[in-house]
Structure 1
């Protein structure tokens, strides 16, 4: 019975998820493959599974040189205990919520106090009480209010990293972060092969995973790496890793600089990264000021990354709306490079169903203990590019894993007109080339197709629109 109940709950969740996508029986949009892709496959330039929207990062491992340096950094500490604490820290970091604004906290405290007072005073006759009894009632209200506040209001506070906690972070989170950033950088390199970054700045650089990933993709062209982190211990550990675990050794990269604060100057950088750091900023005002500062420093790509939770996605969406409004009001050239194929309201936010727009990266954990297996990391991100958009920028993006079935495949995508669209591909209806391209596409890939929605039935469930 427990198994049957679990299956029923799984089916219910799946059908609730599908309601946000175009239902194939009601919607029959015309779908055609991009001519360039069609021609490339027909002429044998590449196979359908290698179409131009595919990302081929696969399962990512931290470079052996970095792993050896990490082992040396931990040689004076009990490795087993560090690994266990790293797992706990990783779970805590991934479960963090967005800090509430001061007004929100004050309003919630007042509401909770009113609720407690009504609950307590509704059970007694206040008019028949003397002053001493009223005092005891008020004390009970105050005591219960404090308990309710602790239970219902998220107590955000910044994380302070000392030397030992920085090592926990290194062991618990570096492999996942490296795989996510490597995947994002790979997409930029694949879609913009002419881009040769000269400088890289990482705000909230932590143990240096952004630098590792940037060097892995563009080591030949990047001349300067700037790492900014408020924790001196994090900066020291990041530098120690790049020195192979020995401060007496030379850096493995050229021109690496460490800072504790983001400068106010608008020195331009080819790549500006802020990964897994927005949660550490205490208010919306400070977050947006920081994002504006980072955008002003950008001369190529601005990359913002957070955990793939609803809270992480909400921070990415906040930044997305802010930067789109800034670009529109200033008249400056700039656009969303990925993952969104449009500049309209995010359809995920429009639905308000609590489902984040996130993606998945597969990685091998650090090989520091026996029996480690490949793992997966969920993340939400946005990449802005200063420059004119290309056609590929508007290709539909797969926002969930392709469902591969017998003689058909189901792709769930976000399209250039700001819709969530589900399409069932078959060889008979769409042709063998398009069918094979769709079947080979994975979560996070783009699909080089054109969708004609003229024939779509105007039903909110069908179009993915919410009134």
Structure 2
């Protein structure tokens, strides 16, 4: 059962209630400090979110974007495995639970455990879930855990690791990915859509494949990524609605923003990856659409769809960055 839209609305409502009355200047100052921490180049062995003020600022600044990025990754996952549903889910480094909200929007009722080393984040996540989350999320367990090397994960159907790897040392990153691969039937890793975020995703992808998992999305295959290192990076975009406080905290005026992200989904069960994935925003020109594609034969290519292609041309005009190509009805 897909309940994504109501879940997104419920999250916005819960955040609005939490942030009501919070002075925008105070939130903005906390956000500025958090941005400096997250954009730093040195991984940490301590949680970035230290107290409730940090956590509330983080929720205003990052939760909507993380939710939308993970939701988009899960949409691609569900296209590759439409009949699979997780009964259990572990959100590693889940903080205030944005990825868990996305999972609750993709499937109805998986039993979720959120692990994080920042107890104020877990407390706020529980508060938000109880304020308006779906029933499965309101019943989630919120457990303190040291994230990184030595993490012991119980067997579970689904593990999500979203916007976590940058905070860890290289040894802790590999330990975490290996633990997720050993524990789960499916692993979803999401990172910022930057060159270094993509590099962390590729590193995780390689380790998941080495552990015996198969790539379900976004890639059409489980072979090596065809992008030559240092020349480009694979990333996608998700549209994020902004609340009024969100706009004040981030210093923006638009009612939305676009979150760039990189991701990989890998499974221990059979999946049906797309024939090709649109890897850049399509270029619509007079009488033609230019599509940049990653294909099943492990090659990157540009495809030009013109009016003479009829229905396929009309489909190309409606195709977005990150979509499968050709559309399901044409494949």
**Coarse TM-score class (shorter-chain normalised):** 0.7 to 0.9
Match of 1:231 among 106, 110, 118: 118
The 3 A distance-change label for structure 1 pair 90 and 231 is closer
Q: In the alignment, which residue of structure 2 is the partner of 1:295?
A: 181
- The C-alpha deviation readout for 1:315-362, integer Å capped at 9, x for no partner, is 1111112222232xxxxxx310011112222222x2522x32110000
Match of 2:206 among 321, 336, 356: 321
Is 1:412 matched up with 2:295? no
The structure with the larger Rg is: 1
Match of 1:286 among 155, 172, 194: 172
The 3 A distance-change label for structure 1 pair 252 and 318 is closer
Q: In the alignment, which residue of structure 2 is the partner of 1:342?
A: 221
State the secondary structure of the residue aligned to 1:379. Answer: strand
Q: In the alignment, which residue of structure 2 is the partner of 1:122?
A: none
Provide structure 2 residue ranges, at least 5 long, that are not aligned to the other structure. Answer: none
State the secondary structure of the residue aligned to 1:347. Answer: coil
Whether the aligned pair in 2 keeps the contact of 1:94 and 1:307 (CA below 8 Å) is no
Whether the aligned pair in 2 keeps the contact of 1:89 and 1:168 (CA below 8 Å) is no
Is 1:306 matched up with 2:191? yes
Q: In the alignment, which residue of structure 2 is the partner of 1:387?
A: 269
Match of 2:243 among 366, 389, 411: 366
The 3 A distance-change label for structure 1 pair 89 and 312 is farther
Match of 1:433 among 311, 315, 319: 311
Structure holding more strand per residue: 2
The 3 A distance-change label for structure 1 pair 443 and 203 is same
State the secondary structure of the residue aligned to 1:244. Answer: helix
Deviation, 1:296, is: 1.2
CA distance in 2, matches of 1:78, 1:196: 38
Whether the aligned pair in 2 keeps the contact of 1:275 and 1:305 (CA below 8 Å) is yes
Moved more, 179-188 or 195-204: 179-188
Provide structure 1 residue ranges, at least 5 long, that are not aligned to the other structure. Answer: 1-56, 100-154, 328-333, 450-467
CA distance in 2, matches of 1:62, 1:174: 13
CA distance in 1, matches of 2:135, 2:274: 41
- The C-alpha deviation readout for 1:79-109, integer Å capped at 9, x for no partner, is 312442354256436634364xxxxxxxxxx
Whether the aligned pair in 1 keeps the contact of 2:101 and 2:137 (CA below 8 Å) is no
- The C-alpha deviation readout for 1:142-177, integer Å capped at 9, x for no partner, is xxxxxxxxxxxxx99762421111111001111111
The 3 A distance-change label for structure 1 pair 437 and 275 is same
CA distance in 2, matches of 1:322, 1:352: 20
Normalised to the residue count of structure 2, the TM-score between the two structures is: 0.85
Is 1:181 matched up with 2:70? yes
Whether the aligned pair in 2 keeps the contact of 1:61 and 1:365 (CA below 8 Å) is no
- The C-alpha deviation readout for 1:255-286, integer Å capped at 9, x for no partner, is 3111121685553222110000011212x222
Q: In the alignment, which residue of structure 2 is the partner of 1:23?
A: none
State the secondary structure of the residue aligned to 1:243. Answer: helix
Q: In the alignment, which residue of structure 1 is the partner of 2:142?
A: 258
Q: In the alignment, which residue of structure 2 is the partner of 1:80?
A: 24
Match of 1:269 among 139, 150, 156: 156
Deviation, 1:254, is: 4.8
State the secondary structure of the residue aligned to 1:314. Answer: helix
Deviation, 1:416, is: 1.6
The 3 A distance-change label for structure 1 pair 94 and 373 is farther
State the secondary structure of the residue aligned to 2:76. Answer: helix
CA distance in 1, matches of 2:136, 2:290: 46
CA distance in 2, matches of 1:165, 1:251: 27
Q: In the alignment, which residue of structure 1 is the partner of 2:233?
A: 356
Q: In the alignment, which residue of structure 1 is the partner of 2:53?
A: 164
Match of 1:67 among 2, 7, 12: 12
